[in-house]
Amino acid sequence: MVTVQDVEILLVEDNPEDLELALRALQRNKLANRIHVARDGAEALEFLRNGGRQLPRVVLLDLKLPRVNGIQVLEAIRADERTRMLPVVVLTSSRESPDVRRCYELGVNSYIVKPVDFDAFVKAVAEVGLYWMLLNQPPETM
């Protein structure tokens, strides 16, 4: 069983099909054993607030979420001293310019539009996971 301290990826996704594809892509690259899934924004924020002292290494965040949307989640992450530097990658179907702009204003680390094609989606998620888990060097305070 994965404990909160073991979580490296917080995947925030409410669409069951996109969630399954993302998990499959991460599994193929041996990155899926330390994932916590939140199915809405409120669940994601609760996890980050109550998840113990160690934060995940990256948050993969959809924007179109029930209860608390992704932009509100990003605002809350950046407003909290404890999570302010946490890498957040928006992985969404929204190509809307106001969404992209607002996310970057709030300090998102990357904004990726989900590819419609199955293989392209799997590849995009795998590359994101590999980059943030293997290549990115977080600050020591994380």
Domain holding 129: CATH number?
Answer: 3.40.50.2300
Quickly count: other Cβ atoms within 10 Å of residue 75's Cβ: 17
Q: What is the percent of the chain where pLDDT is above 70? A: 91
The pLDDT tens digits of the residues spanning 69-81 come to: 999 999 999 999 9
Residues spanned by the domain of 55: 4-134
How many domains does one find in the chain? 1
Distances (CA, A) of 59 to 25, 32, 43, 120: 16, 13, 13, 20
- Flag whether 14 is in a domain: yes
Q: Which residue, among 128, 127, 91, has the nearest Cα to 108 in the 3D structure?
A: 91
Say if 81 falls within a structural domain. yes
CA 130 to CA 123: how far, in whole Å? 10
* 141 within domain boundaries: no
Residue 142 lies in a domain: no
Q: Is residue 140 part of a domain?
A: no
Closest CA to 92 of 55, 119, 57, 128: 128
In a domain, 19, yes or no: yes
Quote the pTM value: 0.89
Burial class (CB in 10 A: 0-12, 13-18, 19+), 60: buried
Candidate ranges 19-28, 41-50, 113-122; pick with highest mean pLDDT: 41-50
Q: Are 55 and 86 in contact (CB under 8 A)?
A: yes
> Looking at the domain assignment, is residue 24 inside a domain?
yes
The arithmetic mean of pLDDT across residues 9-16, rounded, is 95
Q: Is the pLDDT of residue 2 over 80?
A: no
85 is a domain residue: yes
**Whole-number Å distance between alpha carbons of 66 and 81:** 25
